[in-house]
């Protein structure tokens, strides 16, 4: 609490220095659609009122947090262990969990204290404006967050397409369809669900996402144990490289993967979906999230590394197939795992698309009309369709530019 109070005091000083009025991005207590009155239309934009409506509970926040953190990127954790070894790998996972939980909880406490003092920040860029000033918010923080979120949408569509392709090749090994065909399929599913009007409306989808995360993690652990005890089990080697330079490079690469896996750039937007007062609710949501995070991250990392050692791939599913495409585990288990991954990837894409949807809706919709008025439905449909179509197009081209994109992605997410 001492750290939280220190941050709040700094925040209040920054507010006095930067502006004397509540910015457009902040809202008085209760910004849900139910609380809307016509006299508020000049003070609250449509993005805050429609997309970030505050109707959720701490349970819903737990669903949103789990989807935004416990995503299929955890399938790369055995590969991260390969660059660290058993001891440092487990230690890195523990430290990552502790530091990220503390950081997210501290940020939520800052937002709660601001709400108690009459100024509720509902977007990352609004909080940064109050602390760092308008220039930093507009020129640095907001672009970083949007790049991160759009990148997550693009990456989720691409990975969804890859998982669908794995399923296709299991049944049609010599099939003629290419990766971009499956990327378009994933993008089409994303396009359909992207028309859900608000962040809060994703709560049931994110519950399904939480269940699928537990599901495919269980499949991975079962598959790793099955493979490790089978006659076709690969020879396991847990030793690190003998070259000091390669060992150092692998260690930093692995730490970067673990840190990125715990990343989340939309904490204020998730907290904005909770019906005020929010005091204590985000902490409970984080507890739900990290129960899933701890159970899946550690089990997948340990079982995958145990089964494949230094041969662990950046996507553990690749290890479950031979170079000839023959599965090392029952086909149904591999198919089920990838189906669950595809479902969650669509949910991840939806949740990280919300900040972008909020921005465009805040500039194109009119709060004087209802959320479902044709005046607001038409631009919402057209612009969201364009955003998803653009993301799908970029995702289809990404395999040709994977290395530079990964380099830029690591810089952006760690900076934010």
List alpha helices for 117-141, DSSP H: 124-132, 134-136
**Is 24 a domain residue?**
no
Q: What is the mean pLDDT of residues 209-238?
A: 92
Structure confidence at residue 358 (pLDDT) = 92
Taking the alpha carbons of 341, 407, 257, 243 in that order, is the dihedral positive or negative?
Answer: positive
- Report the alpha-carbon distance of residue 64 to residue 343 in Å, rounded: 15
User: pLDDT per residue over 138-175, tens digit each?
Assistant: 888 888 889 889 989 999 999 999 999 999 988 988 88
**Is 22 a domain residue?**
no
pLDDT category of residue 410 using cuts at 50, 70 and 90: low
Structure confidence at residue 22 (pLDDT) = 38
Q: Provide the domain count of the chain.
A: 1
Structure confidence at residue 326 (pLDDT) = 82
Structure confidence at residue 321 (pLDDT) = 87
Structure-model confidence comparison of residues 130 and 338, the more confident one? 338
Nearest alpha-carbon partner for 252 in 265, 268, 241: 241
Structure confidence at residue 16 (pLDDT) = 45
Average predicted confidence (pLDDT) for the chain = 85
Lowest mean pLDDT among 216-230, 249-263, 318-332: 318-332
Nearest alpha-carbon partner for 117 in 31, 242, 43, 22: 22
List strand residue ranges (DSSP E) for 199-318, in order: none
Q: What is the domain-level CATH number for residue 312?
A: 1.10.4160.10
**Is 230 a domain residue?**
yes
User: pLDDT per residue over 54-77, tens digit each?
Assistant: 999 999 999 999 999 999 999 999
Lowest mean pLDDT among 82-86, 365-369, 408-412: 408-412
Whether residue 277 has a cis bond before it, omega within 30° of 0: yes
**Is 69 a domain residue?**
yes
Structure confidence at residue 400 (pLDDT) = 57
**Is 35 a domain residue?**
no
Q: State what percent of residues in the chain have pLDDT above 90.
A: 56
Residue 402 pLDDT greater than 60, yes or no? no
Structure confidence at residue 46 (pLDDT) = 83
CB neighbour burial string for 113-150, b if at least 16 within 10 angstroms, e if fewer = bbbeeebbbbbbbbbbbbbeeeeebeeebbebbbbbbb
User: pLDDT per residue over 244-297, tens digit each?
Assistant: 888 899 899 899 999 989 989 899 999 999 998 888 999 999 999 999 999 999
**Is 6 a domain residue?**
no
pLDDT category of residue 314 using cuts at 50, 70 and 90: confident
Structure-model confidence comparison of residues 264 and 24, the more confident one? 264
Structure confidence at residue 323 (pLDDT) = 75
Structure confidence at residue 44 (pLDDT) = 65
Residue 38 pLDDT greater than 90, yes or no? no
CA distances from 279 to 105, 110, 257 (A): 12, 10, 33
Structure confidence at residue 175 (pLDDT) = 84
pLDDT category of residue 2 using cuts at 50, 70 and 90: low
Structure confidence at residue 20 (pLDDT) = 37
CA distances from 147 to 31, 125, 252, 324, 391 (A): 26, 13, 23, 37, 12
Structure-token pair, residue 314: 């950046």
Q: What is the mean pLDDT of residues 362-377?
A: 88
CA 288 to chain centre: 16
**Is 325 a domain residue?**
yes
**Is 21 a domain residue?**
no
Residue 333 pLDDT greater than 60, yes or no? yes
- Report the alpha-carbon distance of residue 368 to residue 38 in Å, rounded: 6
Q: Give me the domain span that covers residue 256.
A: 46-415
């Amino acid at each position: 609490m001492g750290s939280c109070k220190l941050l709040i005091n700094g925040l209040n000083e920054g507010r006095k220095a930067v502006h004397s009025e509540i910015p457009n991005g902040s809202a008085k207590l209760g910004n849900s659609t139910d609380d809307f009155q016509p006299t508020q239309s000049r003070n609250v934009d449509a993005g805050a009122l429609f997309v970030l409506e505050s109707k959720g509970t701490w349970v819903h926040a737990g669903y949103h947090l789990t989807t935004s953190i416990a995503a299929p990127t955890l399938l790369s954790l055995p590969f991260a262990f390969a660059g660290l070894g058993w001891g440092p790998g487990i230690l890195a996972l523990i430290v990552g969990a502790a530091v990220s939980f503390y950081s997210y909880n501290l940020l939520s406490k800052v937002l709660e204290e601001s709400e108690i003092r009459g100024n509720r920040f509902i977007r990352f860029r609004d909080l940064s404006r109050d602390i760092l000033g308008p220039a930093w918010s507009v020129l640095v923080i907001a672009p970083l967050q949007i790049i991160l979120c759009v990148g997550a949408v693009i990456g989720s569509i691409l990975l969804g397409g890859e998982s669908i392709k794995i399923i296709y090749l299991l049944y049609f090994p010599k099939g003629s369809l290419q990766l971009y065909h499956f990327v378009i399929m994933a993008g089409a599913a994303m396009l359909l669900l992207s028309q859900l009007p608000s962040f809060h409306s994703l709560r049931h989808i994110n519950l399904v996402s939480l269940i699928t995360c537990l599901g495919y993690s269980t499949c991975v652990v079962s598959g790793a144990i099955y493979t490790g005890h089978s006659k076709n089990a690969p020879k396991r080697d847990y030793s690190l490289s003998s070259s000091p330079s390669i060992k150092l490079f692998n260690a930093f690469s692995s730490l970067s993967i673990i840190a990125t896996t715990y990343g989340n750039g939309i904490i204020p937007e998730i907290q904005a979906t909770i019906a005020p007062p929010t005091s204590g609710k985000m902490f409970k949501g984080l507890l739900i999230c990290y129960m899933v995070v701890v159970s899946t991250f550690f089990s997948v990392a340990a079982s995958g590394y145990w089964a494949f050692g230094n041969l662990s791939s950046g996507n553990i599913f690749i290890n479950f197939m031979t170079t000839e495409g023959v599965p090392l585990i029952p086909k149904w288990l591999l198919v089920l795992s990838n189906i669950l991954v595809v479902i969650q990837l669509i949910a991840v894409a939806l949740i990280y698309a919300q900040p972008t949807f909020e921005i465009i809706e805040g500039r194109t919709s009119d709060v004087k009309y209802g959320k479902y008025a044709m005046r607001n439905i038409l631009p919402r449909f057209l612009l969201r369709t364009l955003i998803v179509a653009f993301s799908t197009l970029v995702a289809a081209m990404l395999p040709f530019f994977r290395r530079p994109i990964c380099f830029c992605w690591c810089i952006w997410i760690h900076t934010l």
